[in-house]
Amino acid sequence: MELIKYQDGCLNQYLRTKATSNKNVTTIVQDIIDDIKVYGDESLRDYTQKFDNILLENFKVTEEDRNKALSQADEYFVDLLKKAIQNIRFFHKKQKTDAFEYTTQKNSVIGQKITPIERVALYIPGGKAAYPSSVLMNVIPAQIAGVKEIVLVSPPNNQGLIDDSVLVAADLLDIKEIYKMGGAQAIAALAYGTDTIKKVDKIVGPGNQYVTEAKRQVFGQVAIDMIAGPSEILIIADENANPKYIARDLLSQSEHDENAVPYLVTTSNDIIKETKKYLSQFINESKRKEILRKSIDNNLLIIKTENLNEMIKTSNILAPEHLELLIEKPMGILNDIKNAGSIFLGEYSPEPVGDYWAGPNHTLPTNQTARFSSPLGVYDFIKRSSYIQYSKEEFKENAHFIEKFAEKEKLWEHANSIKERRL
């Protein structure tokens, strides 16, 4: 836990200190990818046994596995999933991008066409928790975009099974191609293919540092959504904010793992004092106290500012994954927030509302990448192609200009391509 006062440069110094790379992880992942490329299923099987403590003959989830999960499903939870699906679909349908076409006065045609990516893999984390919500958040925008082949992968437990709630969520969305595999080995198998796993065109979904590094290394062979780091939350709180709410919301992200990063930015010493008190109390009462204590002790950064303007500047520098505005008039500063993955306005919009229910996607940019990245959406599952059909009349009118442009860049064959038609 660290407390600093806002001043120009202090946050940049903090971020420089925080920015480290783990060369050991990079090397381990590279070796795994190389093995999968050469030995395919054999290496995938070996790494699954090594990291997930289970030897699997077949990686694909069977219809029997799915039916068993469905037979054991809690009906109330299934109803919750169905309602969440409605909310998430409603929001993401608003993101659909239309093609366009324009005909000039000289009968030339220019336009843009939209094509869904053909085959996409969705990585659903396992390990410390199960994430059926991530199934919804990854599958729904891909389906709205029109992706034909959607593959879901998730690490198996030591019984060789994927969590039932993940399978139920996948079934509700009619996802049938599911594989029991995780880690860097799964990313490599999806990127390069094996005898039993057909390679994909894009991989999306969060994972641990090995999954993240693997996505970084296979980018170019396949597309990826983003390089996601540990989860983050930043809370801007004025003197009227409720410190119990602040503490609860900081812990809501800290429980993801020990590396999660919580930030509190406030003008109030009383808020800082009370929030610390409730953090200590709530951690001691929690079922996940060990993870929470490590995250809070090692990563919590509290920034004391003098005014609202400094709070906004701080947030824009840190560019958090989740940003909560616990101030009197949050909508009044919305346009001043330039860098954030998802923004939660007011005391009744805590981050879990976005994780599960409201509709916006919870796969978000981390590690300051909200400066240039966006949440996962329908636009991540489409390709945009421009097209041109010039009329002879318009070509003749503009050929000389195009030719001179090419000659200026000393690209003589570009110029000749135009000249051949112009003369």
Positions marked active-site: 321-322
Distance of alpha carbon 10 from alpha carbon 301, whole angstroms: 12
Q: Residue 114 burial (CB < 10 Å; 0-12/13-18/19+)?
A: middle
Structure tokens at 219: 């980018």
Would you say 87 and 357 are in contact if contact means Cβ atoms under 8 Å apart? yes
Q: Which residue's entry shows tokens 């003008």?
A: 267
Q: List, in sequence order, the alpha helices (H) in 72-131.
A: 75-93
- Quick count: other Cβ atoms within 10 Å of Cβ 196? 13
Q: Which amino acid appears at position 383 of this protein?
A: K
How many other CB atoms sit within 10 Å of the CB of residue 219?
13
> Closest Cα to residue 350, out of 186, 237, 257, 190?
237
Which helix (H) or strand (E) segment is 120 a member of? strand 119-123
Whole-angstrom distance, CA of residue 248 vs CA of residue 282: 8
* Helices and strands counted in the chain (H then E): 16, 14
